[in-house]
Structures are given as structure tokens and as C-alpha cells.
Amino acid sequence: MKRCTFLLLSLLSCAAGAAETPVAPWTLLDQFDKAYTLDDQARVLLVARSMSTAKLVNAALENRPAGYLEARHTVYVADIEKMPAIAKAFAVPAMRSANYRILLDQTGRVAPRYDGDRETVQWLELKDGQVVKQQKFSDAGQLAAALEGLRP
């Protein structure tokens, strides 16, 4: 009987772990060319893969104080790999007016790891270096509410 209980518990823990996806550490520069390395302190990773989803994140963060994302242990990555060079020349300096950190994936080496799409903002909940839950947002109000629910 003890063997059956042990086997059952082992199977359950394996099944629970299967839903978690490990996140390999990476480093990106933000809009001020300051490096950030993903670590176990991050609770949420937001990924925007297009201009429209970046605008959605911006709308959700409008009128939020400086440090709002950091207080919630939230990291925001903007995938700008497909942005034309001329557009980057204007867009990146414009991002410096944001009062939150925007990590810029200029070569597409980070955002594609997370299997998202270009129509929604991807929300990845992290725990101990693992993705434990995923959501997608296409509405700024819903994204803002979810961020508000992350109490610091």
C-alpha cells in the first residue's frame, strides 16, 4: 500500500511539474541602453510583439507612477525585431518618455521563446524561474486591472 501511495504521489508531482516551463535567463537592454537580466525576482513577464500590442501596454500603464511595474515585479519586453530601422531610429528615443522600463528585443532572441502572437500582449506568470500560467490580453482595461491585482 505504501508503494502505491508513493507511486501515486510521484506521478502527481510529475504531472504538476509538466505544466511548468523553465525560463532560461536572458539579458536585454532597455530604452536607455541599461542592461536587465531576468532573474527569479520577476513574477510577471509581459511580451508585446507588435506596435499595436505595445500601444495596448502603454494605454494600460497610462497615468501610473514611475516604478509601478518594478513594484509588482513585472518585466515588459517589446519585440522590435521586425520594426524597420528607420522606424527604430524614431521609436526608441520616443520610448524614453515612458516612466516604465521597456526591454527591447531588437534581434528576436527572447520574445520567440514564449510562443505568443502579434495580436495580443502575452502575460507569463513566473515562479522560481518557471512559467506557471499564461494569459493573453487584447484590451488595455483588462490588462490594467490584472496589473492592479498584482499588489506590490
pTM over 0.75: yes
Domain ranges of the chain: 21-148
Tens digit of each residue's pLDDT (9 = 90 or more) over 72-98: 999 999 999 999 899 989 999 999 999
Confidence of residue 16 (pLDDT cuts 50, 70, 90): very low
At residue 143 the predicted structure's pLDDT band, cuts being 50, 70 and 90, is: very high
Supply the pLDDT for residue 20. 67
Q: What is the DSSP letter of 114?
A: G
Residue 126 pLDDT > 60, yes or no? yes
Model confidence at 24, in pLDDT bands (50, 70, 90)?
Answer: confident
Mean predicted confidence (pLDDT) in 116-145? 95
Identify the residue with better confidence: 121 or 7: 121
SS (H, E, C) the chain: CHHHHHHHHHHHHHHHHHCCEECCCCEEEECCCCEEECCCCCCEEEEECCHHHHHHHHHHHCCCCCCHHHHCCEEEEEECCCCCHHHHHHHHHHHCCCCCCCEEECCCCCHHHHCCCCCCEEEEEEECCEEEEEEEECCHHHHHHHHHCCCC
Rounded Cα distance, 140 and 147, in Å: 10
**Spatial contact of 82 and 94, defined as CB atoms under 8 Å apart:** no
Architecture per CATH, domain 21-148, reads as 3-Layer(aba) Sandwich (3.40)
CB 20 within 8 A of CB 130: yes
**Partners of residue 75 on adjacent β-strands:** 45
The C-alpha cell at 109 is 532572441
Contact 43, 130 (CB under 8 A): no
Given a cut of 90, is residue 10 above it in pLDDT? no
